[in-house]
Amino acid sequence: MRSKRSTSERCSADRRSTCAPALRLPLAILSALLLALGLAACGNDDDEGGGGGGSQAASGEQIQKISGAGSKPTITVGSKNFTEQYILGNIYADALSAAGFKVKKSLDLGSEVVAYKALRQGEVDAYPEYTGTALTAFFKVPVQKVPKEKQATFDQVKAETAKEQITALPPTPFENTYRLAMSKELWNKLGKPKTMSDLKGKTEDLKVSGFPECKKRIDCLLGVEQTYGLKFGGFVASEEKYDVIENNSADVIFGFTTDGELTTGKYVTVDDDKTLFPPYNVSLLMRNQTFEEIGPEGQKVIEQVQKPLTEKVMGELNSRVDLDKQEPEKVAKDYLRSEGFIK
Amino acid sequence: MNSWLQLGQLEIRERQGGTCEANNGFCPDWIADNLHRYVDPFLQHIFLTVVSVAIGFVIAFALALIAHRKRWLLPPLSASAQILYAIPSVALFLLLLPITGRGTVTGLVALVSYTLIFIFVNVTAGLEAVPKESVDAARGMGLTERQLLWRVEVPLALPEIFAGLRIATTTTVGLAALAFFAGAGGLGEEINADKGFQSNIAVAGALAIGLALVLDLLILIVQWLMTPWRRAAAA
Amino acid sequence: MSLVLANVLNDFGGAIEFLFKQQPSQLDPNTEVGGISEMLDLTLKHLALSASAVAIGTAVAIPLGLYLGHHRKGEFAAINASNVGRAIPTLVLLTVFIAYIGVGFVPIMLSLALLALPPVLTNTWVAVTQVERDSVDAARGMGMTDTEIIRQVELPLSLPTIFAGIRVAAVNVVATATIAPLGSVDSLGTPIISGNVYGADGRLGAAIAVSVLTLAVSGALAALQRAVTPEGLKLGAGEPQRRRLPNLRRREAATP
């Protein structure tokens, strides 16, 4: 049945037929994958791993359905575009959902500028924002003028957002602020510095890495250079953080207090003793209209569900996504279940 | 191994950071646990590919038939195809955003545009390459223009047309991987979410490549079914 | 309707402005982004990356294609290189290199070189195998060695087709270099990938810029091809069927 003509003649340009590439092996792999996919799609269970410690769950904390919640308009919960934001967005959305509201998730909006614009224009009804970021990015408060204290910063955010018909809900216990991080070996070599001031004079040969815009930001490298007088041997712009330490592209990086990698003990951070960095607690920003709709009971749910979020807990949740590569949705649900907020 | 300590209700795991996942490696266990995450993107990817090729085929086929009869249309249409081909797909997705918004529709519009090029060019070439003798013979037998087209020219052009369809389909699978720039989802969205994680790339990449090969094979089968005279010749 | 049009024009106006005028970054008013000099800088980086990749890909593909074609070997690989290449999404190609090899100029450039290889290889192979046997036999009769035959007979006759393959490869590489920033390599796609810093205007502006660049490269290479095609081969009408390769003029390799 096969043609006696050579493949070249069958396949070459001016003949009419075409040739099929070698298909058997890729087809076998694809069939196996598809079979596995099908089984996975059907047998989707998300009860792995997170529920083991629930034996002590205080069932009294379970979120109760708020009467009338189901008849309120759908609440769209958004988030910015990194791990912690995905987790928080899911936590708030699932909590409101458990309270009986109709909730839609619109996570991964983009940077704070995009997210806040979406909030103001009503594309989303709420999203979690960092207090320090809100003041510097939206209300143009110079970094040096931001209050150094958690409550004062939040109060200022609340006052400013109120002018735009947005309510800032009470802040989380944890703050996610910048920290200079390095490997444990380097930390030992530098004499186990405790604070950024301790680093003075020791960083000339070290390369520092951060997000591309960090170099010129007063709440990033520029501020560190000015406030602490630290001079680095070079700046490496990278979207990755701890990977650059691993592959020796940089020695010190700008990390965040709740980074998952910090839970591994391989890295050490130094304290911001001169409080260069503003407080960065999370406050759920919500349009006034939606805030009225969820009412005081809804506000209580939000406060209740974020109470256990200490730095250690948030770091653990981030680790589950960034290190264990779990889904943010699953991590959020496991958190809510372990704390007894949902069944 | 990781150990656990209770802090409040949530288990805080003690990590050494040496796990397969933490090192962004190829982790069969993780793949088995997380395969369900690829179902929706995979289905969306199939949707984007099949729908845009179908729409593109209809439009391009019609355009090619028109241009075959009205020759003056060929240069402008070919020139437009050339220009569109040179626009990188990422750029086209972004350029459409202000016009058609963010979402599946924008993705489809861009993908249809690229499909049009391949199919139009191949259908046109196929019709061009029909031997003059066959056309003359058919005219001599008294066939009308329409009969000539559908009973002689198109069937003889089928291999070329199918070639274009296969090229368009495999290419569209690849372009659909970038459709997430338009907010249209697909396997590219999963890839982009963790581009340094070998397991992620392996699964999403295998699905995308596998899809291209399977669709290619399906079209080949249809071609084989629709051109029985070539089967006879090959036997 | 007119409101939609006004919005669209506004968006594009902002994008064009981004290309020509420096403006404060969305993310931090102290940082300036955009403007002609940054765009030119990124363009040069884009072209440097693309040129290196095409050069390396071509340097491998042409000798390989010449050798295999001359000896009539490896036809399955040579012909199907393009089929296989087309079935691999460019995003997958790049991210495989990123995940399994690493980020940086070298891995990304190599992945792009791999992208450039199939069109050039296939075209070279097909062109060489389609050189009339008579010419080759005559050359052999004159006592030329294989290498001399390749260099002095087959290569010159194959040049137009090979160049067509290089053109396809180059346009693909320039287009794909748009997503090079995924691997931490700067190109005109940087404002697109680092959307947070450059903003929506930056993204749209870069999309326009990269389209113009790819069109320019495509047009320039087309003009170059016309310039180097010997007159005899240009007059294709009376030529035997074998020397025209209509299929290869078709878009056999993918735009990313």
Which residue of chain B comes nearest to A320, CA vs CA? B13
Q: Would you say how long chain A is, in residues?
A: 343
Percent of chain B with pLDDT over 90: 56
Convert the pLDDT of each residue in C71-127 to its tens digit: 888 888 888 888 889 999 999 999 999 999 988 899 999 999 999 999 999 999 999
The alpha carbon of residue B137 is apart from the nearest alpha carbon of chain C, in Å, by 22
A contacts of C107 (beta carbons < 8 Å): none
Confidence of residue C152 (pLDDT cuts 50, 70, 90): confident
**Average pLDDT estimate for A184-197:** 90
Q: How many domains does chain C have?
A: 1
Superfamily (CATH H level) for B39-228: MetI-like (1.10.3720.10)
Q: Which of B10, B38, B199 sits opposite A313 (nearest CB)?
A: B10
**C27 belongs to a structural domain:** no
| DSSP strand pairing (A178-183 vs A126-130) | unpaired
Convert the pLDDT of each residue in B34-79 to its tens digit: 999 999 999 999 999 999 999 999 999 999 999 988 889 888 988 8
* C-beta atoms of C246 and A22 within 8 A: no
Query: How many of the other CB atoms lie within 10 Å of CB of A46?
Result: 14
- Mutation target to probe the B interface, by most B beta carbons within 10 A, among A4, A5, A14, A18 is A18
Give CA–CA dist A134/A111, Å, rounded: 12
The alpha carbon of residue C107 is apart from the nearest alpha carbon of chain A, in Å, by 14
* C-beta atoms of C28 and A213 within 8 A: yes
Q: Is the pLDDT of residue A59 over 80?
A: no
- Determine the pLDDT at residue B229: 74
Q: Is the pLDDT of residue C208 over 90?
A: yes
Strand order in the sheet with A267-270: A234-237, A207-210, A252-256, A178-183, A267-270
- Determine the pLDDT at residue A19: 45
Comparing A130-134, B135-139, B226-230, C157-161, the range with the smallest average pLDDT is B226-230
Residue C136, domain extent: 11-22+32-249
A contacts of C76 (beta carbons < 8 Å): 7
Give CA–CA dist A210/A201, Å, rounded: 20
Comparing A15-24, A214-223, A289-298, B156-165, the range with the smallest average pLDDT is A15-24
Confidence of residue A12 (pLDDT cuts 50, 70, 90): very low
Q: How much is the mean pLDDT over chain A?
A: 83
**C1 belongs to a structural domain:** no
Contact status, residue C113 vs residue C180, Cβ threshold 8 Å: no
Domain CATH number, residue C228? 1.10.3720.10
As a whole number of Å, the end-to-end CA separation of chain A is 64
Query: How many of the other CB atoms lie within 10 Å of CB of A317?
Result: 26
Contact status, residue A242 vs residue A254, Cβ threshold 8 Å: no
User: Of all helices (H) and strands (E), which one includes residue A178?
Assistant: strand A178-183
- Determine the pLDDT at residue C245: 37
Question: Which residues fall within 8 angstroms of residue A148, CB to CB, at 6 or more apart?
Answer: A275, A278, A279
Q: Which residue has the tokens 């569900």?
A: A305
Q: Is the pLDDT of residue C243 over 80?
A: no
Q: How much is the mean pLDDT over chain C?
A: 84
- Determine the pLDDT at residue A248: 81
Q: Which of B11, B35, B213 sits opposite A30 (nearest CB)?
A: B213
Confidence of residue B174 (pLDDT cuts 50, 70, 90): very high
User: Of all helices (H) and strands (E), which one includes residue A326?
Assistant: none
As given in the structure block, the two tokens for residue B57 are 């085929």
- Determine the pLDDT at residue B145: 83
**C102 belongs to a structural domain:** yes
* Angle subtended at Cα B185 by Cα B179 and Cα B188, rounded to the nearest 5 degrees: 65
Q: Is the pLDDT of residue A16 over 60?
A: no
Which residues share a beta bridge with B35? Answer: none
**C255 belongs to a structural domain:** no
Long-range contacts of residues B131-134, Cβ cutoff 8 Å, at least 24 apart = B131/B156
Which residues share a beta bridge with A284? Answer: A128
**A209 CA to centre of own chain:** 19
Comparing A56-60, A112-116, A191-195, A208-212, the range with the smallest average pLDDT is A56-60
Report the CATH architecture of A178-270. 3-Layer(aba) Sandwich (3.40)
* C-beta atoms of B196 and A243 within 8 A: yes
ipTM value of the model?
A: 0.88
* Angle subtended at Cα C100 by Cα C99 and Cα C101, rounded to the nearest 5 degrees: 100
Confidence of residue C225 (pLDDT cuts 50, 70, 90): confident
Residue B4 in 3-state DSSP?
A: strand
Percent of chain A with pLDDT over 70: 85
B contacts of A326 (beta carbons < 8 Å): 34
Give CA–CA dist C54/C61, Å, rounded: 10
Give CA–CA dist B179/B185, Å, rounded: 6
Q: Would you say how long chain C is, in residues?
A: 256
- Determine the pLDDT at residue B1: 34
Convert the pLDDT of each residue in A76-130 to its tens digit: 999 998 899 999 999 999 999 999 999 999 998 888 888 999 999 999 999 999 9
- Determine the pLDDT at residue B234: 52
Give CA–CA dist A268/A208, Å, rounded: 15
Distances (CA, A) of C117 to A332, B84, C91, C99, C112: 46, 23, 17, 21, 9
Which residue of chain B comes nearest to A18, CA vs CA? B163
Q: Name all chains with 3 or more CB-CB pairs below 8 Å to chain C.
A: A, B
**Average pLDDT estimate for C116-139:** 90
**What pTM was computed for the model?**
0.83
Confidence of residue B149 (pLDDT cuts 50, 70, 90): confident
What stretches of B46-176 adopt beta strand conformation (E)?
none
Q: Same CATH fold, A178-270 and A62-175+280-338? A: yes
**C33 CA to centre of own chain:** 28
Percent of chain C with pLDDT over 90: 48
Domain ranges, ordered by start, for chain B: 39-228
- Determine the pLDDT at residue C29: 61
- Determine the pLDDT at residue B78: 86
The alpha carbon of residue B147 is apart from the nearest alpha carbon of chain A, in Å, by 22
C contacts of B164 (beta carbons < 8 Å): 250
B contacts of C8 (beta carbons < 8 Å): 98-99
Convert the pLDDT of each residue in A141-166 to its tens digit: 887 888 989 999 999 999 999 999 99
Which residue of chain B comes nearest to C215, CA vs CA? B86
Query: How many of the other CB atoms lie within 10 Å of CB of B66?
Result: 11
Domain ranges, ordered by start, for chain A: 62-175+280-338, 178-270
* C-beta atoms of A8 and C129 within 8 A: yes
B contacts of A308 (beta carbons < 8 Å): 8-10
- Determine the pLDDT at residue A262: 87
User: Of all helices (H) and strands (E), which one includes residue B31?
Assistant: helix B28-34
**Average pLDDT estimate for C136-164:** 87
- Determine the pLDDT at residue C26: 66
B contacts of A184 (beta carbons < 8 Å): none
Q: Which of B35, B159, B214 sits opposite A17 (nearest CB)?
A: B159
B contacts of A30 (beta carbons < 8 Å): 206-207, 210-211, 213-214
- Determine the pLDDT at residue B233: 55
A62-175+280-338: CATH topology is D-Maltodextrin-Binding Protein; domain 2 (3.40.190)
Confidence of residue A25 (pLDDT cuts 50, 70, 90): low
Give CA–CA dist C173/C177, Å, rounded: 6
Say whether residue B221 is in contact with chain A using an 8 A CB cutoff: no
- Determine the pLDDT at residue C230: 66
* C-beta atoms of C88 and B163 within 8 A: no
**Average pLDDT estimate for B171-196:** 94
Confidence of residue A219 (pLDDT cuts 50, 70, 90): confident
The count of C-alpha atoms lying within 13 angstroms of the C-alpha of A92, restricted to the half-sphere facing its C-beta, is 31
- Determine the pLDDT at residue A160: 95
H-state helical runs in chain A: 7-11, 24-42, 83-98, 112-120, 131-133, 150-162, 184-189, 221-228, 242-246, 288-306, 311-322, 328-338
Give CA–CA dist C8/C3, Å, rounded: 9
- Determine the pLDDT at residue A18: 42
As given in the structure block, the two tokens for residue B210 are 């596998």
Which residue of chain C comes nearest to A15, CA vs CA? C247
User: Of all helices (H) and strands (E), which one includes residue C224?
Assistant: helix C195-228
As given in the structure block, the two tokens for residue C184 are 């931490």
Give CA–CA dist B175/B109, Å, rounded: 12
Q: How much is the mean pLDDT over chain B?
A: 89
Which residue of chain C comes nearest to A239, CA vs CA? C184
